[in-house]
Structure 1
């Protein structure tokens, strides 16, 4: 199993790449396997791969009867549930342009056809979500799972206002994390 640190290049040009990963520590079915990745690990693996311009191939080893283990079925169902609402942040997406700074504890994906940026919140911030250098780029923001608007507002708290420059914006997030494993913010970018 192999992961890259950044989009691979040959002679200075980015090349197509794919990583093949397993749901557990085994490439085939092994009844007594106890190293299965949880839903969060699998989603981070998927998002991180796309954020580096790659494709993820997940291997599931069938049982001797040709069926999937109940743990594989469960993992696929959980990933499918997240994808039902967040697939726009994965399909037809790639690495974000270099002029978008990646916020702490986040991963970015980008759809060049729709000109939309996706911010995957690996750790949920408390209300203020500062985006440095995004001020002249953002038209609208919403959560992807329910299409609820995220307002661009002045930050709450004096200390964060002091950290802001003219081209920074603050997204005012709900206090409570949405009930999804990894919330995704969809950013409609200015043309």
Structure 2
């Protein structure tokens, strides 16, 4: 590892003058929270040297291959020498994002394998020093994002299967890595904070930091107050979120849900309890894997993904949809096709998603509602009958029209709510949208 400037690190750490237990977001941070809630749709990118192994052939294994196949560090460190994404075109990536109707990108700066996808000076275990490609992916992507007005967030794994001071070990990375069975936890946290300092000082203004991996040992002394204070000091507007599967900790600016809608736990690990009042985000895969996997052809339909996005918006949550780029630097063609379909849908129906907040009726079996001012968008995703009973609203309904053609819908108020007639010739395949003016 390269030596870091201890004086520089301590200079940043000594700026931390308050505990995040009493965290008060800056005006810039609050403004960015509003932007985040308006944005609604982003691209998640899981990309690293693990893509060279194409996921090992098992669905979902991809970026977890080091742990799942129990590859020792000495052997895994050979992977970077094969990583040469000569077809990586950040401008093409960003153009795809814009056509898809996405407003931001969250990309892995360091995943659980400990390999940095940027020019880290804290460690030479990075894309510039260890690969034939030799260029900073994040710098190129940030420049492309800035040109097109796309915000860039950095995913950062607190869990690290490579660093010797990540000790004691957590639930993963045990036994096979070849690391000595000792280490200095505080040195590891210092290392992590030093890398975060690089990410927050070398790439201009970023959207925020998307943490993952704290679940590996949730009760460890992660020194969150120190880390969160560091981020908020270096970039007061940056949003901090953590995929720890718990209710938000002090100092976090948004709450995230992995492959589950807010409040659900179909995956078995989203033990979040109550949904917070912070901005919300749900992340999801296009197939069964986060990173690139040659054998994973279990692609979700665009209908399913669009309906999931609509339901997420019904909870007031963003939809962060993932792609795992190929080792040559290109986004999988199947993923691009999906994104283009979603972009065309948003071109037509984006008014009912962008800039909205959760509707007055939480998502139900038939669909969801979103709201913007005095307009409630009723998203009917599935309905066997030709009538929808809309639960009672607090405000009086002024009118109800079909979004697609603007014609008035027939409805009547009952003691149980508003009964709306939905003839089958008005139905849309993905989402039949009604505009309810209050």
Do these two structures clear the TM 0.5 threshold for a shared fold by scoring above it? yes
CA distance in 2, matches of 1:103, 1:58: 22
- CA–CA distance in structure 1, aligned partners of residues 278 and 348 of structure 2: 29
Q: Find the counterpart in structure 1 of residue 38 from structure 2.
A: none
2:396 to 137, 145, 167: 137
Q: Which has the higher strand share?
A: 1
1:73 is the counterpart of 2:329: no
Question: Do the aligned partners of residues 126 and 82 (structure 1) sit closer, same or farther apart at CA in structure 2, a change above 3 Å counting?
Answer: same
- TM-score when normalising by structure 1: 0.76
SS in 1 for 2:358: coil
Deviation of the 1:126 alpha carbon: 3.3
Matching of residue 173 in structure 1 with residue 415 in structure 2: no
Deviations 1:48-89 (A, max 9, x none): 221112212112122233222221122112212221221111
**How far apart are 1:92 and its partner, in Å?**
0.9
The normalised TM-score by structure 2 is 0.36
Equivalent of residue 86 in structure 1, options 329, 346, 349:
349
Residue 146 (1) aligns with residue 409 (2): no
Match of 1:59 in 2: 322
Residue 8 of structure 1 is matched in structure 2 by 275
* Cα 1:15–1:88 shift into 2, 3 Å: same
Question: Aligned-pair distance for 1:140?
Answer: 1.4
Structure with the higher fraction of residues in helix conformation? 2
Which residues of structure 2 form unaligned runs of 5+? Answer: 1-257, 265-273
1:41, 1:181 → 2: CA distance?
A: 8
RMSD, aligned α-carbons? 2.6
Higher Cα Rg, which structure: 2
Distance 1:49 1:181, change over 3 A: same
Matched-pair contact (CA < 8 Å) for 1:17–1:54: yes
| Counterpart contact for 2:362–2:368, Cα < 8 Å | no
Q: 1:102 to 1:19 in 2, by over 3 A?
A: closer
**Please, which runs of 5 or more residues in structure 1 have no aligned partner?**
155-163
Q: Give runs of ≥4 in structure 1 deviating > 4 Å.
A: 100-104
- Pick closer, same or farther for the CA change 1:120–1:71 going to 2, 3 Å: same
